[in-house]
Chains A and B, each alone.
Chain A
């Protein structure tokens, strides 16, 4: 007899309560990151020496604003996953580990929200 709830069966997770999601998201964001890095470097090179007005004007183009937003969101999700692994690999004291994992998430969320807010502010001229 299978001692699992229907939800447990569907989720298919063992006692670790985690599956391949972390690994898979790391790869998804890695693949998405390739064109976005090309965009980011291209954008910065095209706007070298640009004034603030020119940067703001570039964000009025929805394609540029959306691509920059995707770059930030993808980068932040990827770096959070990555640093999580680094913390789990090297920090073995529980309270320090969980504190660092917490700070990792906080820092990532602050970076994402701040970056997206700045892009949105320039793009729609708040």
Chain B
């Protein structure tokens, strides 16, 4: 409990003591996209339920997703999904003991960020029928 903490004792260094950087930002974004995708699951399940229910209900849900705000949310969902997946692959590479050197970690962060944006744009270009 925070209130029972002895003020005389030092605390271990926390977030605010470190200089921000790309890898720190990517770590935070990985968690934020994860939480956003948690909420996004509701959209996927809602859509599946609508498809299993009736034509009128399905059309209503499709209209919500097709509206500009719906598309904006789905665009964000797409980017979060791709970014979190690529970030996850980055974590899996660390799990097997590779890529810990600062140079590699920075490169991985840049690659993940760039690829997630490019892939999201490609997916949406296909979705909107741009060919």
Contact = CB atoms under 8 A, between A and B. Distances in A.
Is chain B a partner of chain A in the same complex? Answer: yes
Interface of A: 27, 30-31, 33-34, 37, 40-41, 44-45, 48, 51-52, 55-56, 68, 72, 75-76, 79, 82-83, 86, 92-93, 111, 114-115, 117-119, 121-122
Contact of A30 (B1, B31, B92): B92
A66 to B, nearest CB: 14
Interface of B: 1-2, 31, 34-35, 37-38, 41-42, 44-45, 48-52, 54-55, 58-59, 78, 81-82, 85, 88-89, 91-92, 95, 123, 126-127, 129
A118 B49 contact: yes
Contact of A41 (B1, B38, B58, B81): B81
Contacts of A68: 48
18 contacts: A27-B95, A31-B92, A37-B82, A40-B44, A41-B81, A41-B123, A44-B127, A45-B123, A45-B127, A56-B51, A72-B48, A79-B38, A79-B41, A82-B34, A83-B35, A111-B41, A117-B52, A122-B48
B123 A118 contact: no
Contacts of A86: 31, 34-35
A55 B2 contact: no
Given A45-B123, A52-B55, A118-B51, A30 B88 contact: yes
B58 A118 contact: no
Name the prevailing secondary structure of the A interface residues.
helix
Given A79-B41, A111-B45, A48 B81 contact: no
Contacts of A79: 34, 37-38, 41
B30 to A, nearest CB: 10
A83 B54 CA distance: 33
A12 to B, nearest CB: 21
Given A37-B81, A86-B35, A121-B52, A92 B41 contact: no
A114 B45 contact: yes
A83 B2 contact: no
B38 A83 contact: yes
